[in-house]
C-alpha cells in the first residue's frame, strides 16, 4: 500500500533534481541562522554553490552540542511568531535541545507518519492506541496526527496505567499500537497475568530505543502482532523519519525529505553502501530549524540492494552509538548529564558508576555514588536524605526514575585513562 506512490518510488534523474533543489533551499534557509551563516561563510559555501546532491560534501557538519549551545531559540530560521509548537529533548548538562515547528513542518511530519502507517497496511478501518508520552517528547503527537490524517480511530492513551491500557485494547478493539519495545514486553506480561490474549491487536510499532531481532520474535510471540521498527529524533521532526516496510529488511528513509550519508566517525569521510559508520542526516523540507549534515551518533549502513517494495534507500537496523549516549525507556541519557547533576550536590564525591539492566522487560538504571567522608559518617537517616536528594535531582534533569545507592568514599573503581563509568547489562535483547 502507498500513501503517495509517485514520491515514495521516485528514482533516477527526477529524484536527483528534487534533492538538489531542496538541498539548495535548505542551505538558503539555514543562512537565516547565525550559527549556520558563520559556519557556511568560514567554509566558503553559499546556497548558489549547491547544484546537485553531491555538493553536500562542501557543507560542514552539525553536532548536537551546537544545537544545545543555541538554547533556547538560536537555531530558529523563522520569526518566533511563525513557530506554532515547541518540543524539547534532554540536554547533556541540563539544558535541552529546543525544536520548533511551523505549520508546514507539522503538515510535512504528519504526512511522513501517514506514509509509514499506510506502508505497513494500516488504514481508516484500524483503531490505533498511542501508548507513548504526549508531553515534550515528540513521539506522542507525531504519530497521533499522522494516524488521524489517514482516518484511523486514535486512542491517545499515553504512558503508564498498564492494566487500563490492556482493558482499552480489549474493550475498544484496538488493532495497532505504538510504544517502546520494552514497554510492550511489560504489557504482554501483565496481559498474561490478567488472563487476556489481546486478540484484536495485529500490528505493533516500536521505537525510541534500540531493539534486536530476538526482541522482535519475543514481541510477536507474546502479543500476536507483526512488529515494525521506527526511527527518528526530534531534530528530524521526531519519529518516523525512517520506517520498516512490510519486507522488514531495513528502514526506508524518505528520500524526498532527507539526504542521508554514512561517514567514518573518526575522519568524517563518506562511506559507500554496505559499509558501516555514523549516520548523518540533512533534512530537506524543515522550515523552523533547518539542519545541515547533522551527526546523529547512530551506527548503521545504507543497504546495497533495492527493496522489493519499490521504495527508496534503506538503512540497516542500528547497531550502536559513536558516542556514549544511553537510551533508557525511550529517553536519551548521557553520562555527562549524570555527572553534571551529581557534581552540583555538595554531599557527593567525585566517583560514580552507572549500571543498566533489563528487569521484567523494562530498563532500570542504578547509580552507585560515593558520598564525601564528612557526610558518610553520619546517621543512617542522613544518608537516606542524601539518597532522596540525589534521586530528586536526577529526576528533574533526566525525567527518569533511577535507583541510587550511596557508598563510602574510595570504594568505587578508579581508572587509568578514560573512565568506564557505565556498565550496560541488558544483553542480547538490547
The per-residue pLDDT for 92 is 45
Mean pLDDT, rounded, of the chain = 91
Q: Give yes or no for residue 421 having a pLDDT over 90.
A: no
Cβ atoms of residues 221 and 192 within 8 Å:
no
Q: Percentage of the chain with pLDDT > 70? A: 95
Convert the pLDDT of each residue in 125-154 to its tens digit: 999 999 998 988 898 999 999 999 999 999
Q: Give yes or no for residue 93 having a pLDDT over 60.
A: no
Q: Report the C-alpha gap between 140 and 238 in whole angstroms.
A: 10
**What is the distance between the terminal CA atoms of the chain, rounded to a whole angstrom?**
31
Q: Using the structure block, give the residue that is written with the C-alpha cell 553536532.
A: 63
The pLDDT confidence band at residue 417, using thresholds 50, 70 and 90, is very low
Domains of the chain in start order, with CATH, are 1-322 (3.40.50.12780), 328-429 (3.30.300.30)
The pLDDT confidence band at residue 416, using thresholds 50, 70 and 90, is very low
The pLDDT confidence band at residue 381, using thresholds 50, 70 and 90, is confident
Task: Give residue 54's Cα distance to chain centre.
Answer: 27
More confident call, 380 vs 4: 4
Q: Percentage of the chain with pLDDT > 90? A: 68
The per-residue pLDDT for 225 is 97
The per-residue pLDDT for 80 is 97
pTM, 2 dp: 0.79
Q: Using the structure block, give the residue that is written with the C-alpha cell 507539522.
A: 106
Q: What one-character DSSP code corresponds to residue 338? A: H
Beta bridge partners of 332: 327
More confident call, 400 vs 154: 154
Q: Report the C-alpha gap between 359 and 368 in whole angstroms.
A: 18
The per-residue pLDDT for 94 is 55
Convert the pLDDT of each residue in 230-286 to its tens digit: 999 999 999 999 999 999 999 999 999 999 999 999 899 999 999 999 999 999 999
Phi, psi for 77 (deg, rounded to 5): -100, 0
Tell me the three cell numbers of residue 96: 535541552
Convert the pLDDT of each residue in 149-189 to its tens digit: 999 999 999 988 999 999 999 999 999 999 988 788 889 88
Cβ burial 248-280 (10 Å sphere, 16+ → b, else e): eebbbbbbbbbbbbbbeeeebeebeeeeebbbb
More confident call, 412 vs 33: 33
374 CB neighbour count, 10 Å cutoff: 9
Q: Report the C-alpha gap between 211 and 262 in whole angstroms.
A: 21
The per-residue pLDDT for 322 is 65
Q: Report the C-alpha gap between 323 and 265 in whole angstroms.
A: 10
Q: What separation in angstroms does the CA of 406 have from each of 50, 351, 409?
A: 56, 11, 9
Convert the pLDDT of each residue in 197-224 to its tens digit: 999 999 999 988 777 787 788 889 989 9
Q: Give yes or no for residue 320 having a pLDDT over 70.
A: no
Smallest CA-to-CA distance from 282 within 23, 109, 40, 34 is with 23
The per-residue pLDDT for 172 is 98
Q: What one-character DSSP code corresponds to residue 52? A: S
Angle subtended at Cα 162 by Cα 158 and Cα 167, rounded to the nearest 5 degrees: 95
More confident call, 328 vs 286: 286
Angle subtended at Cα 373 by Cα 367 and Cα 375, rounded to the nearest 5 degrees: 80
Smallest CA-to-CA distance from 296 within 327, 333, 323, 334 is with 323
Tell me the three cell numbers of residue 192: 498474561
Query: What is the four-CA torsion angle of 198, 201, 206, 211, rounded to 10 degrees?
Result: 50
Angle subtended at Cα 395 by Cα 389 and Cα 397, rounded to the nearest 5 degrees: 105
The pLDDT confidence band at residue 418, using thresholds 50, 70 and 90, is very low
397 CB neighbour count, 10 Å cutoff: 19
The per-residue pLDDT for 79 is 98
Amino acid at each position: 500500500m502507498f500513501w503517495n506512490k509517485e514520491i515514495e518510488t521516485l528514482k533516477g534523474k527526477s529524484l536527483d533534481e528534487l534533492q538538489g533543489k531542496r538541498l539548495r533551499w535548505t542551505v538558503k534557509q539555514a543562512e537565516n541562522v547565525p550559527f549556520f551563516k558563520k559556519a557556511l561563510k568560514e567554509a566558503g559555501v553559499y546556497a548558489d554553490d549547491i547544484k546537485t546532491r553531491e555538493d553536500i560534501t562542501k557543507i560542514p557538519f552539525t553536532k548536537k552540542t551546537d544545537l544545545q549551545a543555541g538554547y533556547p531559540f538560536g537555531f530558529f530560521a523563522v520569526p518566533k511568531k511563525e513557530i506554532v509548537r515547541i518540543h524539547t529533548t534532554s540536554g547533556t548538562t541540563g539544558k535541552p535541545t529546543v525544536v520548533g515547528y511551523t505549520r508546514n513542518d507539522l503538515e510535512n511530519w504528519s504526512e511522513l507518519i501517514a506514509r509509514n502507517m499506510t506502508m505497513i497496511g494500516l488504514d481508516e478501518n484500524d483503531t490505533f492506541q498511542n501508548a507513548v508520552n504526549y508531553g515534550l517528547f515528540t513521539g506522542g503527537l507525531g504519530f497521533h496526527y499522522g494516524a488521524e490524517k489517514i482516518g484511523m480511530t486514535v486512542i491517545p492513551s499515553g504512558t503508564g496505567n498498564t492494566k487500563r491500557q490492556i482493558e482499552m485494547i480489549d474493550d475498544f478493539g484496538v488493532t495497532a499500537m505504538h510504544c517502546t519495545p520494552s514497554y510492550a514486553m511489560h504489557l504482554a506480561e501483565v496481559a498474561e497475568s490478567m488472563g487476556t490474549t489481546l486478540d484484536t491487536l495485529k500490528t505493533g510499532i516500536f521505537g525510541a530505543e534500540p531493539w534486536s531481532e530476538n526482541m522482535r520474535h519475543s514481541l510477536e510471540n507474546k502479543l500476536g502482532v507483526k512488529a515494525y521498527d521506527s526511527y527518528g529524533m526530534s531534530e528530524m521532526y521526531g519519529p518516523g523519519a525512517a520506517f520498516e516496510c512490510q519486507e522488514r529488511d531495513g528502514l526506508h528513509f524518505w528520500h524526498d525529505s532527507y539526504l542521508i550519508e554514512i561517514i567514518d566517525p573518526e575522519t568524517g569521510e563518506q562511506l559507500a553502501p554496505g559499509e558501516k559508520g555514523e549516520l548523518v542526516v540533512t533534512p530537506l523540507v524543515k522550515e523552523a530549524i533547518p539542519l545541515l549534515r547533522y551527526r546523529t551518533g547512530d551506527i548503521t549502513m545504507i543497504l546495497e540492494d533495492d527493496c522489493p517494495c519499490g521504495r527508496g534507500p534503506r538503512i540497516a537496523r542500528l547497531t550502536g552509538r559513536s558516542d556514549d549516549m544511553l537510551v533508557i525507556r525511550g529517553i536519551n541519557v548521557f553520562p555527562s548529564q549524570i555527572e553534571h547533576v551529581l557534581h552540583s550536590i555538595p554531599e557527593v564525591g567525585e566517583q560514580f558508576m552507572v549500571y543498566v539492566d533489563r528487569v521484567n522487560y523494562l530498563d532500570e538504571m542504578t547509580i552507585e555514588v560515593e558520598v564525601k567522608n564528612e557526610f558518610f559518617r553520619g546517621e543512617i537517616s542522613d544518608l537516606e536524605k542524601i539518597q532522596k536528594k540525589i534521586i530528586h535531582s536526577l529526576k528533574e534533569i533526566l525525567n527518569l526514575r533511577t535507583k541510587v545507592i550511596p557508598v563510602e568514599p574510595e570504594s568505587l573503581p578508579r581508572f587509568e585513562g578514560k573512565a568506564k563509568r557505565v556498565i550496560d547489562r541488558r544483553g542480547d535483547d538490547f
